[in-house]
Amino acid sequence: MIELRDVEKSYKTTHGSVRILSGASLLVGRHEKIGIVGRNGAGKSTMIRLIGGVERPDSGQITRSMSVSWPLAFGGAFQGSLTGLDNARFICRIYGKNWQDHIEYIDDFAELGKFLREPINSYSSGMRARLAFALSMTIDFDCFLIDEVVAVGDDRFREKCQIELFEKRADRAKIIVSHDASYVRGYCERLAILHKGQLYSFSDMDQAFDFYHSATHLI
């Protein structure tokens, strides 16, 4: 289970403090597929980083009783001076995996070729994302965090990602943040609408999107 209780999050800007989340609460059970929908700038990426532990809330509580992935394709935690291979070794060890058992899969899936043995600092953002996604598939997480549509690489590579994530790991919980209605309808069982820092949960998709469209049209 993952539980967010009264989570608050603000960021300091040159114009003062901007509150992104204000008393947001959410409960996610094992095997559940939940979509978090909101306008651009509503705080969806902030929400997914908080759930994944990449950032901490200003106040409130986030409880995790199942393993949670980092946001898929998020390469911000890599050590730039190390090679992709060295980063893969390090991450495998952190999660108790024998890196030698997984490096062939990572190499094949990420499709980095000789760049796997080059420093991360030399990677493009797309190369970092492909390596991060491959590493995510290596660890047996109970819940995967997906920030927007997984748009890594070309169409063939994205199809490979879809198969790994939604077919081979269909039994895993997933939290998907997006503003794409058709995407979350296709993969999620229920929705939470993020609006003005609050989360509104719905079990009925039509009701959720009726609320979303009416709320955003008032802005």
pTM to 2 decimal places: 0.84
Using DSSP's 3-state secondary structure scheme, residue 16 falls into: strand
Place of tokens 């970092």: 128
Place of tokens 């009701």: 207
Strand partners, 106: none
- What is the residue-level pLDDT of the chain in tens, covering all 219 positions? 999 999 999 999 888 898 999 999 999 999 999 999 988 888 888 998 899 988 999 999 999 999 999 887 666 678 999 999 999 999 999 889 998 999 999 999 999 999 999 999 999 988 888 898 899 889 889 999 987 655 556 678 888 888 888 899 999 999 998 877 777 888 899 999 998 888 999 988 889 988 988 876 644
CA–CA gap between residue 209 and residue 204 (Å, rounded): 9
Give the 3-state secondary structure percentages of the chain, helix then strand then coil, rounded to 5.
Answer: 40, 30, 30
Cβ contacts of residue 133 below 8 Å, gap of 6+?
72, 73, 109, 110, 150, 152, 161
Buried b (16+ CB within 10 A) or exposed e, 31-48: ebbbbbbbeeebbbbbbb
Q: Map out the domains of the chain as residue ranges.
A: 1-67+173-219
CA–CA gap between residue 22 and residue 142 (Å, rounded): 27
| pLDDT (0 to 100) of residue 72 | 79
Strand partners, 12: 17
Q: Which CATH architecture has domain 1-67+173-219?
A: 3-Layer(aba) Sandwich (3.40)
Cβ contacts of residue 179 below 8 Å, gap of 6+?
37, 38, 39, 40, 44, 148
Using DSSP's 3-state secondary structure scheme, residue 147 falls into: strand
Give me Rg for the CA atoms of the chain. Answer: 18
Structure tokens at 167: 């077919």
CB atoms within 10 A of CB 154: 10
- Terminal Cα-to-Cα distance of the chain (whole angstroms): 34
